[in-house]
Amino acid sequence: MHTTSPLMNSDPRRLPLPVLRELHALALRDSVAAVRQITAADLARPTPCAAWTLGDLLAHMTAQHRGFAAAARGDGADRAHWALPRPGPDPVADHAAAAGEVIAAFAAVGDPGSPFTLADLPAAPTVPARRAIGFHLVDCVVHGWDVSRALDLPYAPGPDVLRAALPVAEAVPDDGRRTAPDSTFRPALPADDGGGPLERILTLLGRSPSWTAAAPC
């Protein structure tokens, strides 16, 4: 159950840092709940992320959690923190541990302007904490959907989470970087006029809301 009350304006650029952190934690917990449904037999399933299997996607998510946690601690320039994890006996548990790490790291950030260096992005930019947490929030929303679609499970983030994620998705550059083989987001798709904020976020980041493993669109 989502406990935050609806917000009039959930643009991460205007939210107080504690509220943004709360919405981020809700988004991350939704994605963790989806990941907990994965079994070893599911790891070879296709996902909406181009050629990635569910195992590939899970490794990417785990690496991103650890990278953003390192960035919050002031060590995001070290690319080792962003490296894909070595295959282990329980990747679901490894992902949950990494999720707990990033929540704890974000909770220790007191200044919305604290610099986060994101070595996994082109040119390793250094951005304010508020923007970086917004980046990770939208990553959690979209990858939570990716996992849920791969497993054919329902996925319904809370409205406040989606209101915070939408302006971040709208700001992601839709340029040639999205066609790179290792790009997390593909070129934007036409918006569905009848869709809600989740569908808008998905199409902005190159996902078809109608994607299924049986008919990947």
Structure tokens at 94: 């490894």
Question: What 8-state DSSP symbol labels residue 115?
Answer: E
In this predicted structure, the answer to whether residue 125 has a pLDDT above a threshold of 70 is yes
For the chain, the structural domain boundaries read: 17-204
Look at residue 137 in the predicted model and tell me its pLDDT: 97
Give 185 or 87, the one with higher predicted confidence. Answer: 87
Q: In which band, very low, low, confident or very high, does the pLDDT at 183 lie, cut at 50, 70 and 90?
A: low
Overall average pLDDT of the 153-163 stretch? 96
Closest C-alpha to 157, from 8, 32, 13: 32
How does pLDDT run across 29-65, given as a tens digit for each residue? 999 999 999 999 999 999 998 789 999 999 999 999 9
From CA 114, how far away is CA 13, in angstroms rounded? 14
Sign of CA dihedral 21, 110, 114, 9: positive
How far is Cα 141 from Cα 169, in angstroms, rounded to an integer?
10
Domain 17-204 has CATH 3.40.50.880: no
Q: What percent of the chain has pLDDT over 70?
A: 88
CA distance 87 to 49: 19
The answer on pLDDT for 131 being more than 60 is yes
Provide the whole-model pTM.
0.90
**Phi (first) and psi of residue 116, to 5 degrees:** -115, 120
Residue 11 has pLDDT above 70, yes or no: no
pLDDT at 101 over 90: yes
What's the CA gap between 120 and 108, in Å, rounded? 22
